[in-house]
Amino acid sequence: MAHRQPRAIALTPDETGPRKLSALLSLSVAVLALALTATLAKAQEGEVITSHGYTNFGELKYQPGDTLDYVNPDAPGGGEYSTWSIGNFDSFNQYAIAGVAAALNTIGTERLMTSTLDDPYGAYCFLCETVEYDEARTYAEFTLRDDVTFADGTPMTAHDVAFTNQLFTEQGIPEYRQAAVQFYDSVEVIDDHTIRFEFSDYMPAKVRVQQAGSTPVFSKAWFEETGARLDKPSETPFMSTGAYVLDEVDYNRRVVYRKNPDYWGAEHPLSQGSNNYETIRVEYFGDTSAALEAFKAGEYLIRNESDPADWNTGYDFPAAQAGNVVREEIPDGSVAQRFSWNFNLNREKWQDIRVRRAVAMMFNFEWSNDTLYFGDYGQPISFWTGTDLAADGLPTEGELALLQPLVDEGLLDAAILTEPARVPVEHSADSNQPARSIIREANRLLDEAGWELGEDGVRTKDGERLTLNFIQFNARYDRVITPFLANLALIGVDGELERMDTAQYVERRRGSDFDLTNQIFSMGFEPSTGLGQWFGSEGADESSRNIMRLKNEGVDRLLKEIENTTELQPLIDATNALDRTLRHLSFDIPYFYLPDTWVAYWDVYRHPDDLPPLGTGALDFWWVDAERLDALRASGAL
């Protein structure tokens, strides 16, 4: 079976947006370059720009006062959005290392600027009226709205913005804090509704305005009154300005958020058609099977599905047969996530790329996908699968210009210049057991790495057995991990699956106490400084994203290249080079992604006919059909 690719939809001037980044970046590079050239020409005249938003490429899609194209501005309010989560929780602070945060714990959090689901490069003033910046992006000055209030009714001011920024630089997680303290030379409160960020040279110019506009805004008075800390668990969400507040909590069982009747932003143009539910409820379950059965019984009414087995066989129940439950497959226009299994590079045995590659070769995606998952998954061959940012084939001229110096300095393997971009070994779907040729090659790599096969069938080196401890908390993956471990036994690797509760799982990952564990890599349309948290050496041992503890100077240099690009084609070249390098290093085993978003819901929810390309918006701008809900209740279906 060939490696499955997502659909790429060409973007024409009349379309609202792409379904994949390949379509976005296939927007004529020349067109975007011309637009950017025009912007830079104005900047060279020394112009100070004052705008309702910011973009590096092209023009902003929306103007001041516009409502979003993909919402129903007349959507009725009221009703409940009810869904599920797995595991347990003991906090409402996702920014702390300690504790397990509740689902949707930041639902009440807003930022100076916001994004939309049909403008991948744009950032729009939300808590602010305008943003002013100079040609070199040495500063950004935000004029704040004067009508924004926190959930307790107190006004939001520039003092709260400055306080929150300082909070993250002092109490944020280490991987963020180490960078954040270098972002600004100063953050100055000009007056109650004006705040100015003076940027340091640490941040690339192209990300400065968005970075300043992306910090959440919390209430300074609330933090001072409660003594809450960003680096400690919290029993309540932090006081912010959003539409929803905590209404009810039953730890490890349920959390309910309620719409704030005094929400300041109800009439904001970018809020029109959104925040339609009166309450949002999340029910917790110990496993996915129990969650699905609860959905069938109407204990909650909407769920995103990611398991093809459940999607194909789990919805043949009376309510679905009667048409009371709807299933939709909605094209996913975001960058495909890379769900993969990651080695712990802090452990010596996994520092040998030959050992990692031998282990990875034994995972038979094709058999797992066809046998267990109805062929519905794609295998993510890239960290930007299906997009123009993904490396393909031999390096391009633009890539070679970046990779050759790194090879010359001994920072990267020379083979990266002459080999096609690595893709997973292709297996037969007829049997889980790999072909003999694959097993022979895996054995050759382990032999070459010095791991000798013992009489008991397990390889050893310097007295150490080649064991692999795979940690996991979700039983749904047992059926694919267990056959993988059986294949590893064929090459002398003694693998075990260790399942545990969510809290133990989180703690083991934080402490790098595993050989292999899962990670979901979520990349963006405009790669930049955030990549450092995923792949950078700085702060790798404390990172919640760089779970594999990757520390590679060649990767670090490519990250800097991406950060410093200001034009589209160099951005593509640098990201292609990084993607090629990450795949060459073979620190993870790509497992799956879903080309579409699967949503199942009781037939009480409605949405606009034309959904945006970058998200379904079920939690955001769908609404409840009250008459249909009453009818289902009257019939006894609910």
Q: What is the reported pLDDT for 386?
A: 82
pLDDT in tens, 439-450: 999 999 999 999
Residue 380: pLDDT above 80?
Answer: yes
pLDDT in tens, 531-559: 999 999 998 998 889 999 999 999 999 99
Q: Assign domain 347-592 to its CATH superfamily.
A: Dipeptide-binding Protein; Domain 3 (3.10.105.10)
- Partnered with residue 144 across adjacent β-strands are 128
Residue 104 near residue 249, CB atoms below 8 Å: no
Alpha helices in 103-204 (DSSP H): 158-171, 174-180
- Residue 104 tokens read as 């949707």
**Sequence spans of domains, the chain:** 48-336+597-638, 347-592
Q: What topology does CATH give the domain 48-336+597-638?
A: D-Maltodextrin-Binding Protein; domain 2 (3.40.190)
Among 170-179, 263-272, 413-422, the minimum mean pLDDT is found in 170-179
Mean pLDDT score, 480-491: 98
Residue 497: pLDDT above 70?
Answer: yes
DSSP letters of 365-401?
HHHHHHHHSTT--B---STTTTSTTS--SSPPHHHHH
Max mean pLDDT range (523-532, 545-554, 562-571) = 545-554
Residue 326 near residue 399, CB atoms below 8 Å: no
229 vs 568: which has the higher pLDDT: 229
Q: How far is CA 451 from the centre of its chain?
A: 37
Residue 471: pLDDT above 90?
Answer: yes
pLDDT in tens, 36-70: 333 333 344 468 999 999 998 889 999 999 999 99
pLDDT band at 387 (very low <50, low <70, confident <90, very high): confident
Residue 525: pLDDT above 90?
Answer: no
pLDDT band at 89 (very low <50, low <70, confident <90, very high): very high
Closest to 612 (Cα-Cα) out of 69, 102, 177, 179: 69
Q: Read off the pTM.
A: 0.79
- Residue 459 tokens read as 């390889």
Q: How far apart are CA 592 and CA 335, in angstroms?
A: 13
Residue 294: pLDDT above 80?
Answer: yes
Q: What is the reported pLDDT for 566?
A: 80
The chain-wide mean pLDDT, for the chain, equals 91
Provide the 3-class DSSP secondary structure of residue 593: strand
